[in-house]
Amino acid sequence: MELIVLGSGTCVPDPVRYPSSHLLRLDDGELWLLDVGVGCLQQLMRAGENPNEIDHIFISHNHPDHVGGLAALIQSYTHAPGFKRESTLNIYGSNDVGNYLHYVQSFSASFESGFDIAFHHLVDGQEFVVGEAILRTAAAIHPIPTQALRVESYGKVLLYGADGAPCDAVTELAIGADLLLLEAAYPSSMKSDVHQTIVQAVEVALNAKARKLVLVHLYPEVLAMSHDQRCSEFKTLNYPGEVIFADDLARFIF
Ligand SMILES: [Zn+2]
Ligand SMILES: [Zn+2]
């Protein structure tokens, strides 16, 4: 698999970090977008990727830093010369996500175009198959319905934790992951009921025996820390895997 971090940021404006979106290329060529933060179109272009080649979009939850780019993406497929889409776009998410998609489609009749959007309603704990991939969801702990996603394809596993405080369901979903894509919102001095800290993210990786941990959704308090300060937060855990604080456009092949 190949993962490209399109947006490692949050809702907090930042000159070099876009809100959450990530591109996942499976070994059979299927292309997944994991969340659609504002600016994901621009980031796809910067990454040298063609938005028209995206087959599937998973949306973890309806916070604007994860879904704010959806209308622009659909508009580009509809109106932008050279980007007109013909193939079906598959969008996956909770009932809330389905409602948001319906809203996006409803506010402009001009979005009704030459391609179909197929919405796939996901419930918590659902396992489903798309092509060669086996996927599974779990509910995260966040103020609105939020789902984490496990993607297993050709023997490799990616876990996208989305937003959320640590919880057993997400840790269980992460077991044996080759790459764990988790939020590290805050330093450990800033505990939260709806997000997780750096050390809590590393604890998930440790408990799940994940091979590599890629940390995103970095709030300013984490960005203000030096690399050594960030690493000192979790050094006593002795996690044997690699921990990476990702910048936008970071690529991982695993
Ligand atoms: Zn959120
Ligand atoms: Zn968020």
Element (H, E) at 223: helix 220-223
Radius of gyration of the chain (CA): 17
Residues with CB under 5 A from ligand 2 (ion): 65, 163
Going from the C-alpha of 10 to that of each of 14, 15, 65, 69, the distances in angstroms are: 9, 12, 6, 13
pLDDT of residue 78: 87
- Contact by Cβ (8 Å): 40, 66: no
Q: Which two tokens stand for residue 21?
A: 């979106």
Residues of the chain above pLDDT 90, percent: 91
Q: In the predicted model, what is the mean pLDDT of residues 163-179?
A: 97
Residues of the chain above pLDDT 70, percent: 98
Residue 15 alpha carbon to ligand 1 centre in Å: 20
The pLDDT tens digits of the residues spanning 88-119 come to 999 999 999 999 999 998 876 566 668 899 99
Phi, psi (rounded to 5 degrees) for 75: -60, -40
Tally Cβ neighbours within 10 Å of residue 172. 14
Query: Is 178 one of the annotated active-site residues of the chain?
Result: no
d(CA 98, CA 230): 37
- Domain architecture of the chain: domains with CATH: 2-253 (3.60.15.10)
pLDDT of residue 84: 85
